[in-house]
Homo-oligomer: A and B are copies of this chain.
Amino acid sequence: MAGSTFGNIFKITTWGESHGSGIGVVVDGCPAGLALKESDIQAFLYRRKPGASRFATQRKESDSAEILSGIFEGRTTGTPISLLVRNTSQRSSDYSDIASYYRPGHADYTFDQKYGFRDYRGGGRSSGRETIGRVAAGAIAAKLLAELGITVTAYTQAIGDIAIPDAECPFEMLDIEEARSNPTGMPDRETSLKAETYLQQCMENLDSAGGIVACRIANMPTGIGEPVFEKLDANLAKAIMSIGAVKAFEIGDGVKVSSANGSSNNDSFRMNGSHTVTKATNHAGGILGGISDGSEIILRAHFKPTPSIFQKQDTVNKNGENITIQIKGRHDPVIVPRAVVVVESMTAITVLDLLLQNMTSRIDRIQKFYRE
């Protein structure tokens, strides 16, 4: 069954394999009137580009986006926006031997089981390149959210055991500019340097590392999220867990809540001055009953280590024989730094879609909308 579409009102459909003609996305349901040009997309794509640091695969791909439809005189028209990124650095030969066996930690075996065969060049549809479509769409969603004053910011919180000092520290204490320029994506230079040392060590061991991406949403309106199955946190969980290599999702205090007590976990409501309801703390991560409460939204995604490592590994081949393999090619020792913009994109897409869904919640607002 079709599985490449995400969202209801703002709906994206991605396509493409790592070594086919290209990768792309159709963004449908984007409101008309948004100023949009290719450089807006490009800025996001650049953040997931390979070859940007020594911890990223050295493939040189331009990843240049072409807008094929949906824009007229510099603005979105309300019709589908089709984006195309050609694959330009295809070295399929690197992958010729993986046709015959199943790489541990990869989707080779499961694709074969599901579809009977697979495009074995570089992981095909299960390659990390699949996320290009998500990021291109995320650039549009983020730009639209910005027009509404909402900002989505992701960054690397941990690589292996190296984590930024306090995961829930105030957003103001993070150095996002630093995160955008160093090779780890961490918003703290000192921690980033430690992580770089650790990664260097992993590479020397022919091994790879996992890590955590955090994402925060500032200036979030209240009321976003549709009970009971289309809750904001439920949709964020799906969006983030649909990214390859993510094995856990947390909102607010996340896994810590299971060992907490109600008295410490509950966030008291307080009046901010005389007019606004706020919360004294934000263990909830900005969501109550699946609906945004106006506080900062905080989520975290746990990424597994890159499965392509250069050590010898046991596996089986298509003839059903136990074999030992050694993977070749170009592979990042850690997925996380390039995944930061993917998490940010999926978060923006999800929040935007639910923000649009929320517009029909009250008859008085609908009457006002149509009366004008």
Contacts and interface: CB of A to CB of B under 8 A. Distances in A.
B8 A26 contact: no
A10 B288 CA distance: 24
Nearest to A267: B104
Contacts of A158: 258-259
Tell which of A231, A280, A283 has the most Cβ of chain B within 10 Å.
Answer: A231
Given A115-B32, A360-B359, A82 B16 contact: yes
B364 A230 contact: no
A333 B75 CA distance: 34
A234 B241 contact: yes
Contact of A26 (B26, B289, B293): B26
Interface stretch (A42-50, A106-114, A177-185): A106-114
A187 interface: no
Contact of A361 (B67, B78, B209): B78
Interface string A215-250: 000000111011111110111111111101001111
A248 B257 CA distance: 9
Contacts of A15: 26, 28, 68-70, 79-82
A116 interface: yes
13 contacts: A1-B8, A1-B9, A1-B226, A1-B358, A20-B68, A107-B291, A207-B263, A233-B247, A234-B238, A234-B239, A248-B250, A248-B251, A248-B255
A303 B260 CA distance: 10
B309 A262 contact: yes
A208 B261 contact: yes
Nearest to A72: B119
Contacts of A291: 107, 110-111, 113-114
Given A110-B289, A210-B261, 5 more contacts: A1-B361, A5-B11, A17-B70, A233-B242, A262-B306
B274 A114 contact: no
Interface in A63-86: 66-70, 72, 75-82, 84
A318 to B, nearest CB: 10
Contact of A4 (B227, B257, B266, B316): B227
A241 B231 contact: yes
Nearest to A346: B229
Given A34-B363, A78-B361, A362-B78, A212 B258 contact: yes
A237 B360 CA distance: 24
Interface in A277-329: 277, 280, 283-285, 287-294, 302-309, 311, 313-316, 320-322
A28 B9 contact: no
Contacts of A322: 270-271
The 8 closest A-B pairs by CB, nearest first: A107-B289, A3-B226, A2-B29, A3-B230, A208-B262, A110-B291, A2-B11, A238-B238
A14 interface: yes
A95 to B, nearest CB: 12
Interface string A182-221: 0000000000000000000010010111111000000001
Contacts of A69: 15-17, 20-24
Nearest to A76: B363
Tell which of A23, A247, A304 has the most Cβ of chain B within 10 Å.
Answer: A247
Contact of A9 (B2, B121, B244): B2
